[in-house]
Structure 1
Amino acid sequence: MIGILTFSRCYNYGAFLQAYALHRFLLEQGYDNELIDYRSQKSIDNELNALWAEGKGNIGLKIRIGLKILKFRLYHSKFKKTKHYFNREELAQKHYDLAIVGSDQIWCYTKEWGGVDTPYFSDQLSADSIISYAASMGPDKYDQQHPRSIVRLMKNFHALGVRDTNSYKFAQQLNPTTPTLVLDPTLIYSFEKEVKPVNRKKYILFYSDGLLPDEKTLITLKKVAKKKGLQIVSIGKHFEWADVNVVCPSPFRWMGYIKNADFVFTCMYHGLLFSIKFNRQFAMFLIPERENKCLDFLKRCGLANRVVKEADQLFALVDTKIDYLPVNSFLQEQQALSTTFLIQNVADITVVEHAEG
């Protein structure tokens, strides 16, 4: 049996979909697996408190946030998973042939909801072998001073799949095994059966976790939408300036909104990945701490020019169509490399089982 330890018990679209993608990909390859359902109460409370704070003073918005939470909890039931472990010591109760840690920014230990969370670095995991897949440090820097516990635990990984250059250098300096740069699971699983269509047409999709571009860029976005005859649809968050707010779509409907958008404007990593996956026209606005993961991938795809640095660029980016032929060719090569890394490490350790689901 394979155990996957990642961010899954949360209310974030990208986090849910990356966990779902890895889970389903392995099942389709014939490998039985389950999500190791670990998250501390402190981490859960911090995220929920932040969500409820968004609806402060707005009863209607609070109801929609509550509906969003309920939808995610329903979708969490789509995983085969363990009981909920609140404490890291509980993780050692179950032994696996293989434990996969990742993906997502599980190695970000300075800014996540629970702070330093050592199980994501192999602590208390009971397995014949432990590997990472598409693990990331997020905004943390590879050359910062790392806690001694993390330095020690990183040596326990038998193979290291990481999703960005910064995380590659981090893994490289703390483990003798050479890391492999791989794709996020959402780019190796098709979602063809899961993505739900939407009826809305002619819109710019705005996807953010609350971060906004500078005021001039926001004004320009509204001008672009008006000139093109498009509505601005904000997904996942409520913004008063948006024409339409879709606060609580299901994760599969969320994908549909990206797939059907005329243009996507985002600061989010999985907003970027799904825009590319569905060959959408898009642009990004970034703050420095998001460059480790977003700008790194844009450069690898040859799309670094899709980052808006000045407001006036937005008009040009909307009118300049992305040539997806070289991008898709790059993705096909990386999909082959990524799936080979994953299957080889699974096959070397785990007996293939015919899993259902």
Structure 2
Amino acid sequence: MRIGIITINSAYNYGCVLQAYALQEYLVKCGHKVDLLNYRPDVIDKVYTLYREKIKFKTPVLQNTYDKLRRMKQQHERRATYEKAEKFEKFIKKTLHTGMAFKSFDEIKENYDPRDYDLLITGSDQVWNSDITKGLKPAYFLDFDKVKTEPGFVRRISYAPSIGVDFLRDSEADFMKKYLENYDMISVREQSAAELLSGLTDKPIKVVSDPTFLLEREDYESLVERSGFTTPEAYNKKFKGPYILVHVIGKDRDVVRIAGALSRRLGLPVIQNRRDKTFDNELGSFASAGPEEFIGLVRGAKYVVTNSFHATVFALLYHRNFITVPHKKYPERMVNLLGSLGVEGHLKSKLGELVGIHEDEEFIAASKNEKDEMILEKIDSMSEDELFKPIDFDEVDARWAKLREDSQGYLKDALSKVKV
């Protein structure tokens, strides 16, 4: 069977490319030929553009000279960022089954005939989050209108797209209602998304797990090994001994405060994903790491502190104790993930919550400086097991296996209904 997937696959974001890889590889393991329709709209790719013109010159010679010199300066100053971009592009072009890149859905429709596929899938990630895509896009709803009424029209399903919000504007609801009609089967990643969409279609809506759940740990191990990654120390000779891996998306002060306090209390150094030094006890940065190296560095950590959904997923997959700070704007998927695996107690919004005094009347009434002193005093009295509460990973694995089986079942059901 030939399957086409459309998802966000070009962002230099670990979770983005690894969820695309996971869905692709699961279907390949099932014996199918899989293509990723390489949709790279500016709204996604421009976020990761390394060079932007700052000055425009009237003559091409001056413009080209200026651009060349400025690029050279940026490459020197932002070496890690450029190295990361090169590794991501290699992953996107070599590991993901992508072909020619398309900037618009019209370009895809001109170059792909959906009837070349037996099944089309809207993949996961936040493809239905209008804040991320700057407006809902027909591309992510597989709107191949030109062949919709012809015989043998290809079946279409969604697998675990995320909406990322708990309400829809009227215009978004109208858009969704129209384009959900394109699908033969619908699934989403969060229960809140299923509840939002249930009033917009008569079709049943299944809640399934993120694609990264579809694969086993061994599948990711083979990916890391194929990349040549061996140990954290091989990536950076300073990455010796136990460490806390800190992966922070955006400027989240709470992640930094929690990780810094834990590092100080436990005497463990930090490695982190920002280019600039952030922590007092820091071994270095993994700002240049590609997707495979990211997995290997999570695997090598003693603890993980993050506000990233997928860093949390891989910490759990590799049995690494962790603290996750919920995303300030889109917390639902983290809440759902940790609740489904029975480890919701590892979701901490603030340092005061980590040490368990955030609801004390005395703490609430205290000034900022007094609160900081109370937190430091409390954290110094806590043991390692009190800070990182032990996790029953046998229970986590059992729940994970059930979620994997359930999600694989949805895909197997969809595949069984395709007439080849």
Under a length normalisation based on structure 2, what TM-score does the superposition of the two structures give?
0.76
108, 120, 126: which one aligns with 1:99: 120
Q: Say whether the 8 Å CA contact 2:213–2:403 is kept in structure 1.
A: no
- 1:288-347 Cα deviation digits (max 9, x unpaired): 422111112111222221122331415565341111122111111111111111122023
Any unmatched runs of 5+ in structure 1?
Answer: 352-357
Q: Say whether the 8 Å CA contact 2:167–2:196 is kept in structure 1.
A: yes
151, 163, 166: which one aligns with 1:141: 166
Distance in 1 (CA, whole Å) between partners of 2:248 and 2:51 is: 15
**How many residues align structurally?**
344
Any unmatched runs of 5+ in structure 2?
Answer: 55-70, 148-152, 234-238, 356-378
Distance in 2 (CA, whole Å) between partners of 1:219 and 1:86 is: 40
Q: Say whether the 8 Å CA contact 1:7–1:15 is kept in structure 2.
A: yes
Equivalent pairs: percent with the same residue?
Answer: 22
Name 1:355's counterpart in structure 2: none
Q: Say whether the 8 Å CA contact 1:160–1:171 is kept in structure 2.
A: no
Displacement after TM superposition at 1:132 (Å): 0.6
Q: Say whether the 8 Å CA contact 2:246–2:271 is kept in structure 1.
A: yes
Name 1:88's counterpart in structure 2: 105
Q: Flag the 1:305–1:51 CA change in 2: closer, same or farther, 3 A.
A: farther
Distance in 1 (CA, whole Å) between partners of 2:406 and 2:136 is: 31
Distance in 1 (CA, whole Å) between partners of 2:257 and 2:154 is: 55
Q: Flag the 1:75–1:134 CA change in 2: closer, same or farther, 3 A.
A: same
The DSSP-based 3-state class of the residue aligned with 2:170 is coil
The DSSP-based 3-state class of the residue aligned with 1:247 is coil
Instruction: Note the 1:230-241 alignment, pairs <5 A.
Output: 230-235=268-273, 237-241=274-278
Distance in 2 (CA, whole Å) between partners of 1:12 and 1:325 is: 30
The DSSP-based 3-state class of the residue aligned with 1:134 is coil
Distance in 1 (CA, whole Å) between partners of 2:10 and 2:196 is: 26
Q: Bigger shift: 191-200 or 15-24?
A: 191-200
More helix by share: 2
Name 2:376's counterpart in structure 1: none
249, 253, 262: which one aligns with 1:224: 262
Q: Bigger shift: 158-167 or 342-351?
A: 342-351
Q: Name the aligned partner's letter for residue 221 of structure 1.
A: A
Q: Flag the 1:293–1:339 CA change in 2: closer, same or farther, 3 A.
A: same
Name 1:181's counterpart in structure 2: 207
Q: Say whether the 8 Å CA contact 1:263–1:318 is kept in structure 2.
A: no
Q: Flag the 1:270–1:169 CA change in 2: closer, same or farther, 3 A.
A: same
Q: Say whether the 8 Å CA contact 1:238–1:245 is kept in structure 2.
A: yes
Q: Say whether the 8 Å CA contact 2:92–2:98 is kept in structure 1.
A: no
Name 2:81's counterpart in structure 1: 65
267, 289, 299: which one aligns with 2:339: 299
Q: Name the aligned partner's letter for residue 71 of structure 1.
A: K
Distance in 2 (CA, whole Å) between partners of 1:346 and 1:218 is: 44
Distance in 1 (CA, whole Å) between partners of 2:276 and 2:413 is: 45
Q: Flag the 1:290–1:346 CA change in 2: closer, same or farther, 3 A.
A: same
111, 127, 135: which one aligns with 1:115: 135
Distance in 2 (CA, whole Å) between partners of 1:137 and 1:197 is: 37
Q: Name the aligned partner's letter for residue 135 of structure 2.
A: G
Name 1:44's counterpart in structure 2: 45
**Between Structure 1 and Structure 2, whose CA radius of gyration is higher?**
2
Q: Bigger shift: 116-125 or 332-341?
A: 116-125
Matched, 1:202 2:242: yes
Distance in 2 (CA, whole Å) between partners of 1:350 and 1:251 is: 36
Name 1:354's counterpart in structure 2: none
Q: Say whether the 8 Å CA contact 1:40–1:87 is kept in structure 2.
A: yes
The DSSP-based 3-state class of the residue aligned with 1:193 is helix
Q: Say whether the 8 Å CA contact 2:122–2:159 is kept in structure 1.
A: yes
Q: Name the aligned partner's letter for residue 82 of structure 1.
A: G
Q: Say whether the 8 Å CA contact 2:247–2:311 is kept in structure 1.
A: yes
- 1:173-214 Cα deviation digits (max 9, x unpaired): 222221111111111112131124423331111111223233
Distance in 2 (CA, whole Å) between partners of 1:42 and 1:224 is: 37
Q: Say whether the 8 Å CA contact 1:183–1:334 is kept in structure 2.
A: yes
Name 1:321's counterpart in structure 2: 390
Q: Say whether the 8 Å CA contact 2:244–2:305 is kept in structure 1.
A: yes
Name 2:144's counterpart in structure 1: 124
278, 285, 295: which one aligns with 1:245: 285
More strand by share: 1
Larger relative contact order (CA 8 Å, sep ≥ 6): 1
Displacement after TM superposition at 1:282 (Å): 0.4
Q: Bigger shift: 222-231 or 328-337?
A: 222-231
Displacement after TM superposition at 1:171 (Å): 3.0
Distance in 2 (CA, whole Å) between partners of 1:223 and 1:304 is: 21
Name 2:361's counterpart in structure 1: none
The DSSP-based 3-state class of the residue aligned with 1:4 is strand
Name 2:179's counterpart in structure 1: 153
Displacement after TM superposition at 1:223 (Å): 3.4
Q: Flag the 1:44–1:58 CA change in 2: closer, same or farther, 3 A.
A: closer
The DSSP-based 3-state class of the residue aligned with 1:233 is strand
Q: Say whether the 8 Å CA contact 1:162–1:182 is kept in structure 2.
A: yes
Displacement after TM superposition at 1:150 (Å): 2.9
Q: Say whether the 8 Å CA contact 1:204–1:261 is kept in structure 2.
A: yes
Q: Flag the 1:67–1:300 CA change in 2: closer, same or farther, 3 A.
A: same
Displacement after TM superposition at 1:113 (Å): 4.8
